[in-house]
Chain A
Amino acid sequence: MYRYDEYDQGIVDARVDEFRDQVARRLSGQLTEDQFKPLRLMNGLYLQLHAYMLRVAVPYGTLDSRQMRMLGHIARKYDRGYGHFTTRQNIQYNWIKLLDAPDILAELATVEMHAIQTSGNCIRNISSDQFAGAAADEVTDPRPWAELIRQWSTFHPEFSYLPRKFKIAVIAADEDRAAMRLHDIGIQLVSRDGQVGARIFVGGGMGRTPMIAPEIRDFVPADDLMSYLEACLRVYNRYGRRDNIYKARIKILLHEIGADEYRRQVEEEFALVKQLGIDPPATELERISAMFAPPPFDANASAEVDRSDPDFAVWLDQNTRAHKQPGYAIVTISLKPVGGIPGDASADQIDVMADLAQRYSADELRVTHAQNIVLPHVRIADLAAVWQTLTEAGLAEANLDLISDIIACPGLDYCSLANARSIPVAQKIATRFASPERQRDLGELKLKISGCINACGHHHAGHIGILGVDRKGTENFQLLLGGSGAEDVSLGKITGPGFSEDGVVDAIERVTDRYLAVRTEGERFLDTYRRVGMEPFKEAIYG
């Protein structure tokens, strides 16, 4: 894991001091709310319906147990005993007092954490593959590259007032576990002639105009990456639209001028920027990479496991994945109990997960974009003990990638932008499909819910997506089918007229019933949809 040196720590400490100064100026009336807004937003502090929400960065979703315990401590001391893990691999707290915010940042800084650029029109937290460093299919660990980009983008003097927010994801495997092509910039690390470099996609995104990012460059060597990204951002900063907030993301610029013209402008800018000496030397990537060296694995770790407890066996099959090291497994802890709030964890649960990471997972945890937590390096021999502890903490839901493993935005229960509530719909769907046997029979089914067209709940990328809208003062839910955020990326299509809250749950059941009736052997819901198209499902829903 990355460790701060004196420079990193100095910058984060200075940020705490700066924000304390800004809050004091706000509280004394020297700053109006209007003037304070961009300052607090740059630090992840939103004014929501009931209170301030603070979003804390978890760079590329990686944490150690000490940091995880701090997140629990903050939930307990400053919030109502909960934290909410987000689709950007961060955590947010929904009941924060403005006066407390500087103290929270000061506490975070003691464990090398911060809230820098978790909102605002700047480069946001760099996201990555939650299985980085543990998956067998990666060409390299993407996190050192993500850290390099984190440092380059932190307080970037030119790109802190972009037309709109800017999200970057870095992956290093063909299987895309991070929705890479639905980011403003998606980077896939690839190997060419023995050299690792970056394949660059630009202009993806969800929101009200979802787009899949086209490839802009097939290979950027490590030595050129910062210059190339600088060129990508400079073209956007200069020519991205600023007249209409809904047309300000880079995807609209790409759409309007075309990928070829954008590429041409970037290459022209890159030729100039490359002369400026802004690329760190190779030794910097080496320095960072050394901190991501694999933990000391036990080469003799046993791959045998006692499956005699049927509940354990079900969890084992559903929530663990193969690890690159024989004798180890990757565990995903579901934060989606039936009837719960997707992504929420109590302070006590956060502590339990921290303890498990320290004892069984080389002191590492990951946050996933699907709002779950990963223990990346667990000995197969320890899985039963891990499961036992999770069961006692209410964290052993065996539903990874099943219909109740729902991504949902906070919705109208918290968010001032929302048109509809997301959480109650998620709870009703999970309750309707509560039977574990029924869920497993349905197989992989990614269901995603957004409470407004800003699409924080990734509804465009759901195998089944739900979009809450306001229809003449009442909440209405549109249903989408056929989206995917994975390597087979696609955008869902709306089935037809929307539904009430209960109506959309019924409609989903009709969709899954039809799927069960027409699927062929081994076909996931998404595969069936792609084979048979929308019509059979429309007919099932609307009759």
Chain B
Amino acid sequence: MADADQTDIGGEPELRFRDDQPHDEPAVTLDAFLVEQSNATAVRLEAGDDARALLPYLDRLALIEVSFPTYRDGRGYSSGRILREAGYKGELRAAGDVLVDQLPHMRRCGFDSFAPEAEIDAATLRRSLSRYDQVYQRAADTAVPVWKRRHG
């Protein structure tokens, strides 16, 4: 990944890929955000929530956490891209059953922080994120697809 700056050696893996300070406010549910607490700056999306419901509020959100209830449930990948495509610049966190081998795809879908249920091995993560230096398709990251490299 072009922007994955993994410099830690062993120990705890770095799971946040942003320069700003972590956002401390606890995330509210989408329902709570829409109905009651629309001044909240952190929202949690369940896998089945419609990410587009947040589009009118992206400017004032600092953290959106997307839940992955099982590694098989891939809805969150679409949620991530939809938010980034709509211009969301805040922290986008993948939380739940997030496996080390899934992080490269999640990074490509716009996620820049991770809260996995199970521990992730730092060395494995480092190898995982640096393995592919070419991609076939444009996504929500800065990677340049090979067709662009071929034809400029």
Contacts and interface: CB of A to CB of B under 8 A. Distances in A.
A366 B57 CA distance: 53
Contacts of B75: 237-238, 242
Contacts of A10: 133-134
Contacts of A7: 134, 146, 149-150
A25 B137 contact: no
Contacts of B105: 155, 157-158, 160
A158 B71 contact: no
Contacts of A244: none
Interface stretch (A86-94, A208-216, A275-283, A433-441): A275-283
Interface stretch (B8-16, B30-38, B59-67, B124-132): B124-132
Most chain A CB within a 10 A radius of its CB, from B71, B124, B136: B136
B74 interface: yes
Interface string B32-60: 00000000000000000000000000000
Contacts of A281: 147, 151
Interface string B76-107: 01100100010000000000000101101110
Contacts of B78: 158, 234, 237-238
A152 B150 CA distance: 14
Interface in A261-315: 272, 276-278, 280-281, 283-284, 287
B150 A157 contact: no
B121 interface: yes
Interface stretch (A15-23, A73-81, A106-114): A15-23
A287 B136 contact: no
Interface string A148-175: 0001101111111111000000000000
A35 B124 CA distance: 14
A279 to B, nearest CB: 9
A25 B75 CA distance: 27
Contacts of B72: 38, 121, 161, 242
Q: Is the interface of A mostly helix, strand, loop or mixed?
A: helix
A283 B138 contact: no
A533 to B, nearest CB: 44
B70 to A, nearest CB: 9
A30 B127 CA distance: 15
Given A7-B150, A21-B124, A161 B137 contact: no
A284 B85 contact: no
Interface string A358-376: 0000000000000000000
Nearest to A226: B137
A157 B106 CA distance: 7
B139 interface: yes
Most chain A CB within a 10 A radius of its CB, from B77, B101, B147: B147
A14 B131 contact: yes
Nearest to B85: A276
B4 interface: no
Contact of B71 (A22, A152, A161, A276): A161
Nearest to B73: A242
B137 A156 contact: yes
Contacts of A39: 101
Nearest to B86: A272
Contact of B146 (A14, A30, A151): A151
A155 B143 CA distance: 13
Nearest to B135: A155
Contact of A280 (B73, B101, B133, B147): B147
Given A14-B132, A276-B85, A157 B101 contact: no
Nearest to A151: B136
A18 B134 CA distance: 14
Nearest to B80: A158
B28 interface: no
A5 interface: yes
A162 B74 contact: yes
Most chain A CB within a 10 A radius of its CB, from B77, B106, B149: B77
A519 to B, nearest CB: 50
B107 to A, nearest CB: 8
Contacts of B146: 7-8, 11, 151
A463 B147 CA distance: 43
Across the A-B interface, give the 3 residue pairs with the lowest CB-CB distance, nearest first: A161-B74, A157-B108, A280-B147
11 contacts: A7-B146, A25-B124, A121-B74, A157-B77, A157-B106, A157-B139, A158-B74, A158-B81, A158-B139, A226-B137, A281-B151
Interface of A: 5, 7-8, 10-11, 14, 17-18, 21-22, 25, 30, 35, 38-39, 121, 151-152, 154-163, 226, 234, 237-238, 242, 272, 276-278, 280-281, 283-284, 287
